[in-house]
Structure 1
Amino acid sequence: MKKINMLMVAVLVLLTGISAQPATGYIKGKVTTADDKPAEGVTILLKNTVKNAVADNSGNFEIKNIQPGSYTLAVSLVGYKDAEQEVTVENGKATTVSFQLTLSNRELNEVVVIANRNSFKTNRTSNSLRLQSPILEVPQNIQVVTAKQISNQQIFDMLEGVTRNVSGASRVEHWDNYARITMRGSNVGAFRNGMNVSTAWGPLTEDMSMVERIEFVKGPAGFMLANGDPSGFYNVVTKKPSGRNKGEVGISMGSFDLYRASLDLDGKFSEDGKLLYRINVMGQLKGSHRQFDFNNRYSVVPVLKYLVDDKTSVTLEYTHQFSEVNVIGSNYLFSKKGYADLPRDFTTAEANLAPTKMNDKSLLVILDHKLSNNWKITAQAAYFNYQQQGASLWPQWPVAFDPQNDSILYRGMSIWDVLGTSKIGQMFVNGEVQTGAVSHKILAGLDMSNKEYYHDWNQGGALGGEFNIYAPAYGNATQPVFDRTKNIRERGVRYYDGYTGLYVQDELGFFDDALRLTVAGRYTTLKTGDVYSGDFKSSRFTPRLGLSYSIDKNTAVYFVKDASFLENFGSDWQGKSFDPITGGNIEAGIKKDWVNGKWNSAVSVYQITRNNVQTTDFDHLNPAGGYYTRQSGQQKTKGVEVDIRGQIVRGLDVIINYAYTDAKVTKDSDKEVIGTQVAGSSRHIQNAWLNYRMDRGALTGFGISVGYQYQVKRSPWYVFDNSKNSLPDYFRLDGSLSYQKEKIGFNLVVNNILNKYLYSGAPYEDYYYWQAEPGTNMRFSVSYRF
């Protein structure tokens, strides 16, 4: 460990000691759209070098410290030919150029998704969020995790360090397939390309090889797309064809027998450039710091896009992800004495247990059509199919430990097969009109969703006999036999959730759009059912009011008040479905771009109320293990969030965020829990990630990164009573060294540099359970772009 720390210090000293630089020139210029508006956020590449620049809010860019010679500048466009210019750089002189894009300003949001690969900051959301305004002007806190951040931190899936890049977000626990992300006091919804894909279990979390960016939207989101939790959601935007012939191959190796390879191919199928394609393929073999544990995955994601004409395009995307893991639950540790009582490599699993296999398949179709220069319609439909066959480990029920000996655990093993299908359809219209001195940005649409879910956990038994957690003996355990002769639709428990939503939004602009008033409403009908209580419907209108004012072109303040209405998965001890979750949100904030858009900051304050939340039902035991949940109560969350991201000085990109979250139970049938901290929340979360890359001298292309995650006053996610059962503070330090030489890149990431015992967990019955993270571990990746 000392060697790693000394290496980091030595590199920093070396970087600060470089002074002599050869004579160079530089390029400066401006990028505008076809309607002469600044093309903010677009990346300008100096081909065959590692140098690039991102256009600021005025469309201006500058690339410094370039060796004299002839070069080609390029701007990446989605679905169109690259815009390129030949330039000559001379010693000590500035070369001035200008670009005018062939796309209109309304289509620029699609360009930015591809073009900002070299920045920690972006100015716009993806088209799947349906917003026509820059993030600075939207009356809501939206944070985007860009492709550069994902690559720089070597994040392979949503179960890893994505949340460190967003204020107040944390991953409290996982089951090898589905990321439980908490934000603003509750679990947030999982979206993919603007569609709510959340179910009670699944689908398989996205591998980053297929991901272009991840958008975290704070607060209710029913005004602009499918139902969202009052606390917000994250939207995974998958890679689409760019219209450029390019590709990238990557190979990674690391601790715990990690072997991974990925391929990204992007290009044109037809000579006329109308038929575009993109395919991402990934394969991974991954061990673990725990015995017998593994997670082997592969994914294949082909995408076709056909440009019918200059007004219409059709996109077809197929996703197939597969994961094979050890029996679910093997990543838990159990003890009567307290948290962290066992080594972090401990497991209750055996070497001969059949693996759990997960298949996630989906098909997405998108139709985009420009009705006119000011109006556009988008229609998209998707089908998701998630299948799981495997088992789950947990202590036996109702007696987990020997009453006479806290060392003896009775292991239980139950079947866990899942079938989940989702059918989702969306259609929305974006447009702009002018009425006198008032501008209008109109959004109107229809959302429909139908989710059916079966799971079988009702077969099980003991896994071997007595098991001493302090002196485990493996290899002699017998396991229960499961009967799968019946289809899961016959033997599983069925749940059904669906909704239909109609919405309309008008963003009115006054005083040359300096003042923006958003008025919106949504009418949603929820359909819920199960085998016990049958189907029922519930409908509600949820309004939204937002106000945003630009103090100047780089500073905006906002206020928003809105409501939410969404499905409440599961059932109580009688098998009755829960009533929908309702909630309200009040939020205000200020956003500012600094140095004309090089970096930005956002500060927000909010209060969220959530009704009909589920809590643990300690009065009724579940024969399959544990307690049922009940619908009883209300939670209120107040908080402050601060986000800073972008290039602070030349070569230094940063992510710095902080969140204060005061989440409490305000109503409950159990009076004793009123006033307690909401399970799964953390009072204080502060993260940072700094990346410095040399762009001149002998070390051009060399980079160093360092970052940490810090959480204070963490509550267990399962149940919390404000007692000593709270989790300890969490601090994790990570870092990386990287080097980019023209088309080839190298990246070494070291996680948990301080080798701390880090975990999350909860009290459960009369014992504790937790998941322990690995100690110091590393990954080394090589990538080649062509």
Structure 2
Amino acid sequence: MKKLYIFLVLLMMSVHLFAQSGSIKGTVHSADGKPAAFVTISIKNSQKGAFSGEDGSFTIKNVKVGQHTLVISYTGAKTLFQTVTVEDDKVSTIQIALQETASQLNEVVVEGAKTRTINKRPISIGKLPVPAMDLPQGIAIIGHEMLENQQVQRLSDVVKDINGVYMASMRAGTQETFNARGYGFSSSNMFKNGARVNSGVMPEMSSLERVEILKGSAAILYGNVAPGAVMNMVTKQPKFNFGGEVNLRAGSFGLFKPSVDIYGPINSRVAYRVNGTFETADSYRDQVHSKRYYVNPSLLFKLSDRTELLVQGDYLKHDFTPDFGIGSINNTKIADVPRNTFFGTPWQYAHTQQSTAGVNLKHKFNEGWSLNAMVSYQNYNRDYYSTERIQADSTGKWVRPLNRTYNTEDYYVAQVDINGKFKTGNVEHNVLAGVDADRYNTVAYSYNQPTTYDTINILDLSKYKQRQDIPDASRIRSVTSPISRVGVYVQDLVRITPKLNVLAGVRYSYLQNEAPVTKDLKTGAETKGKSKYDQAFSPRVGIVYKVKPNMAFFASYSNSFTPNNGIDVDSANLKPSIIDQYEIGMKNDFVKGKLSVNVTAYRIKNNNYAQTAPFQKDGVTPNNNANLKALIGETLSQGVELDINGHPLPGLDVIAGYSYNNITIEGTSDRTGGSTKGERLVGNPNHTANASVFYTIQKASLKGLRFGVGYYYIGQRYAGWNNTVNQAQKYNRLISVPGFSTLDFTAGYSFKRFSVLAKVSNITNTYNYYVHENYSINPIPPTQVTGTVAYKF
């Protein structure tokens, strides 16, 4: 008994000694006293370590008592060693001073980020904290360096660098819409900081840190999205070191755009950032003008070592001239008129405003589990009065139609995601589970304006005298359309072996289109329509096999549905479209991990594709009601994409790609409006290609000098409408639009805090067209010059 007692006492003492531990807490500063973020602090001969946060702070917990050597490392900076003593159940504090200044560290951050290829980086749009190499789908990232180098003005400038995504239309200059792998983006596929945004405005580019594209299926993560891809715009975030930039951009056709960006700490726990801009510009199109105001404030709260809260908002006001381009002749060919000719009225207008506010909460329970939560509100409204689609007869005669609208939308969204890492035996799991909900409340007002304005001849403007007055128009009707959505999803990325990953998951989505309410604004009488409900499960499965650390093959399958809003010509609700997506590919990192070369092949089948109905029920009268839709039949999209991205040499940035896509109508709808089998879907080219190469000279005598070349190609595509079964029109409704290439050249110089950058776009002055509204055609911009002068502090 005595021996047993002695044994137990010794056992308890050993357990106590073994359990003795403490914590190390500290901050890292640059040589000039500013907080240093993302510095690696590790304990020599131990697996424990941490990264410093935006405020330079770090914590290492459960460290054995005794004396330890800290290894402080930072890509491109000198490694430091510092000794610290840890006592039982106590916090040892330490201050670490690097030998580099904040500006030197900022250069190191940029170069350090470039050592990680696109395949090695996790992206927020994927909702999993894993490298893109581990995901069974294609990904694209356009970072702030490329956004600045190309002096992007609109999202269409960014999309030129994203292989397989292209601008499909630009309705009257009101909004840009994009296609990916043959299928159109909508508001459902556009996100800012993870929250859906209305695509009725042209988002401001100066506030963006990067643009992320998740190609292929994203339904399990984001619900009722169209197939092809989703896009997330990530805005600039607050920082705990003071800095910023002021710049002035000016260019051809009256472009004038001053911008400011300021960030810094309020105290050790709160940081801020404010950026904003004003822009005014004319156009290469006569009588077309634009004016924009934008501001984007944000606050970051470090609530604890494990919790941070980001509060942000923005406001955009855009006033501009709607421009429906040069139009078509007899619905069979593009009008042969000068690029600058404007056929609208001198008074037509569009005034849009968008306000957003959001709160993002991130909490880390421990090293394995974390929570991300987000709440967002958005208000959008548009006041619009203009002539519209330019469809002249064979002689050029065109009766100008009028449209007066006012739309407003309130949009609420909330989502919660939980990420967890754990093991079952030797198998590693990376689990994502979440729930999201959103609600739209849209109100559309209609007016009693005349349906037509006057008659002109687009081939000879002297034939008719044009009106100059603004017709009276008053509100007569409003339609309120509430929509609610809820989704629950779970997926698991299972690492079976170091080489083999399997991704499996499922989402349940419920969508409720509440009964629209139409109100007669003269009598006050209300008419209630019919409610519509859709629900579905969306499964996803994928596999990734790593032949070696820098090479992986993947394959995936997903099934989803897209609800189709609106009614058909018989006033019946449209059924949802069911979508099957298959994808295979290969991801590679070359040049010691500095250059990614990825290849993807895909097949996407939509069982019944919906588009705006070309005509009213009689099959002859053109339809101007965007709520009137037609199911045209089954579509099949097949293609291959090649993506090249990286920094193969010091100072050299490369983005390039080629895509082949063929989207065809495979089966006709069982309702009126079914399209002809075998035709390629309008607005989609078979071939696109892009290449952007920028080089910053590294030699001391010329350091700071940079130049770049951008190339963009979009192949032949069709304007007009796809032909339908038993159509009333006796002509081919497709208009072939030839492919075209543009070439841009950029040069700049940076000296200390100053920089100047100039770009000549479309050097060859290529003349081609953007297609919008089917028979309305807008010519692309001619050669333009843009310059930016900036000062960073």
TM-score range, shorter chain: 0.7 to 0.9
The letter for the 1-side match of 2:468 is: A
Give 2:422's aligned residue: 433
Structure 2: distance between partners of 1:626 and 1:338 = 24
Give 1:287's aligned residue: 282
Return closer, same or farther for 1:196/1:717 CA change in 2, 3 Å cut-off: farther
Return closer, same or farther for 1:675/1:136 CA change in 2, 3 Å cut-off: same
Indicate conservation of the 8 Å contact 2:115/2:647, yes or no: no
Structure 1: distance between partners of 2:143 and 2:96 = 23
Give 1:186's aligned residue: 183
The letter for the 2-side match of 1:755 is: N
Match for residue 730 of structure 1 among 720, 723, 740:
740
Match for residue 161 of structure 1 among 157, 161, 165:
157
Give 2:217's aligned residue: 220
Return closer, same or farther for 1:339/1:310 CA change in 2, 3 Å cut-off: same
Match for residue 456 of structure 2 among 460, 463, 467:
467
Give 2:493's aligned residue: 507
Return closer, same or farther for 1:545/1:636 CA change in 2, 3 Å cut-off: same
Return closer, same or farther for 1:38/1:185 CA change in 2, 3 Å cut-off: farther
Give 1:480's aligned residue: 471
- 1:458-486 Cα shifts (integer Å, max 9, x gaps): 543266533232343687433321114x7
Give 2:512's aligned residue: 527
Structure 1: distance between partners of 2:223 and 2:631 = 23
The letter for the 1-side match of 2:643 is: D
Structure 2: distance between partners of 1:213 and 1:299 = 18
Indicate conservation of the 8 Å contact 1:275/1:305, yes or no: yes
| 1:245 has 2:242 as partner | yes
C-alpha deviation, 1:294, in angstroms: 1.3
Return closer, same or farther for 1:699/1:440 CA change in 2, 3 Å cut-off: same
| 1:710 has 2:681 as partner | no
Structure 2: distance between partners of 1:441 and 1:299 = 39
C-alpha deviation, 1:624, in angstroms: 6.4
Indicate conservation of the 8 Å contact 2:633/2:675, yes or no: no
Give 1:686's aligned residue: 689
Give 1:537's aligned residue: 533
The letter for the 1-side match of 2:99 is: E
Give 2:757's aligned residue: 747
Return closer, same or farther for 1:704/1:718 CA change in 2, 3 Å cut-off: farther
C-alpha deviation, 1:183, in angstroms: 0.8
Give 4+ residue runs of structure 1 displaced > 6 Å after superposition. 35-40, 81-84, 117-120, 720-724
**Equivalent runs, 1:599-748 vs 2, <5 Å:** 599-615=595-611, 616=613, 618=615, 620=617, 625=624, 628-669=628-669, 673-716=676-719, 718-719=721-722, 725-748=735-758
Give 3-state SS (helix, strand or coil) of 2:334's partner.
coil
Indicate conservation of the 8 Å contact 2:557/2:583, yes or no: yes
CA-based RMSD? 3.4
Structure 1: distance between partners of 2:439 and 2:279 = 32
Structure 2: distance between partners of 1:395 and 1:431 = 52
Give 3-state SS (helix, strand or coil) of 2:461's partner.
coil
- 1:372-403 Cα shifts (integer Å, max 9, x gaps): 2211111111111101112132259xxx646x
Give 1:772's aligned residue: 779
**Equivalent runs, 1:402-481 vs 2, <5 Å:** 406-461=395-450, 464-472=453-461, 476-481=467-472
**Equivalent runs, 1:266-415 vs 2, <5 Å:** 266-270=263-267, 273-326=268-321, 328-336=322-330, 338-351=333-346, 353-394=347-388, 401=392, 406-415=395-404
Indicate conservation of the 8 Å contact 2:614/2:623, yes or no: no
Structure 2: distance between partners of 1:206 and 1:324 = 13
- 1:654-713 Cα shifts (integer Å, max 9, x gaps): 111000101111122366611110122110111111112111143211111112111223
Indicate conservation of the 8 Å contact 1:119/1:146, yes or no: no
Give 2:89's aligned residue: none
Structure 2: distance between partners of 1:258 and 1:119 = 36
The letter for the 2-side match of 1:386 is: Y
Structure 2: distance between partners of 1:706 and 1:321 = 31
Structure 2: distance between partners of 1:121 and 1:31 = 21
Match for residue 589 of structure 1 among 574, 585, 591:
585
C-alpha deviation, 1:599, in angstroms: 1.6
- 1:621-644 Cα shifts (integer Å, max 9, x gaps): 678637942124211111100100
Larger displacement relative to structure 2 (463-472 or 177-186): 463-472
C-alpha deviation, 1:325, in angstroms: 0.5
C-alpha deviation, 1:763, in angstroms: 8.8
Structure 1: distance between partners of 2:544 and 2:557 = 12
For structure 1, which runs of at least 5 residues remain unmatched after alignment? Answer: 1-29, 44-58, 64-69, 73-80, 89-96, 102-110
Indicate conservation of the 8 Å contact 1:679/1:720, yes or no: no
Say which structure, 1 or 2, has more relative contact order (CA 8 Å, 6+ apart): 1
Indicate conservation of the 8 Å contact 1:758/1:773, yes or no: yes
Indicate conservation of the 8 Å contact 1:454/1:492, yes or no: yes
C-alpha deviation, 1:752, in angstroms: 0.9
Paired residues, number: 686
Indicate conservation of the 8 Å contact 2:123/2:132, yes or no: no
The letter for the 2-side match of 1:553 is: P
C-alpha deviation, 1:553, in angstroms: 1.5
- State the TM-score, normalizing by the size of structure 2: 0.80
Indicate conservation of the 8 Å contact 2:345/2:387, yes or no: no
- 1:539-576 Cα shifts (integer Å, max 9, x gaps): 11111111112221211111111112233233222443
Give 3-state SS (helix, strand or coil) of 1:441's partner.
strand
Structure having the higher Rg: 2
Give 3-state SS (helix, strand or coil) of 2:159's partner.
helix
Structure 2: distance between partners of 1:167 and 1:779 = 24
Give 3-state SS (helix, strand or coil) of 1:165's partner.
coil
Indicate conservation of the 8 Å contact 2:324/2:777, yes or no: no
- 1:146-199 Cα shifts (integer Å, max 9, x gaps): 1111111111221x311111111110211334321101111122112222335x
The letter for the 2-side match of 1:300 is: V
Give 3-state SS (helix, strand or coil) of 1:597's partner.
coil
Give 1:85's aligned residue: 98
Indicate conservation of the 8 Å contact 2:119/2:131, yes or no: no
Give 3-state SS (helix, strand or coil) of 1:451's partner.
strand
Structure 2: distance between partners of 1:478 and 1:716 = 32
Indicate conservation of the 8 Å contact 1:519/1:544, yes or no: yes
C-alpha deviation, 1:719, in angstroms: 3.8
Taking only the aligned residue pairs, the percentage that are identical comes to 26
Structure 2: distance between partners of 1:785 and 1:301 = 18
Indicate conservation of the 8 Å contact 2:114/2:594, yes or no: no
Return closer, same or farther for 1:358/1:83 CA change in 2, 3 Å cut-off: farther
The letter for the 1-side match of 2:485 is: Y
Structure 2: distance between partners of 1:689 and 1:717 = 32
- 1:39-74 Cα shifts (integer Å, max 9, x gaps): 99x99xxxxxxxxxxxxxxx99569xxxxxx999xx
C-alpha deviation, 1:330, in angstroms: 4.3
Larger displacement relative to structure 2 (625-634 or 653-662): 625-634
Return closer, same or farther for 1:563/1:195 CA change in 2, 3 Å cut-off: farther
Structure 2: distance between partners of 1:763 and 1:154 = 28
Structure 2: distance between partners of 1:497 and 1:582 = 20
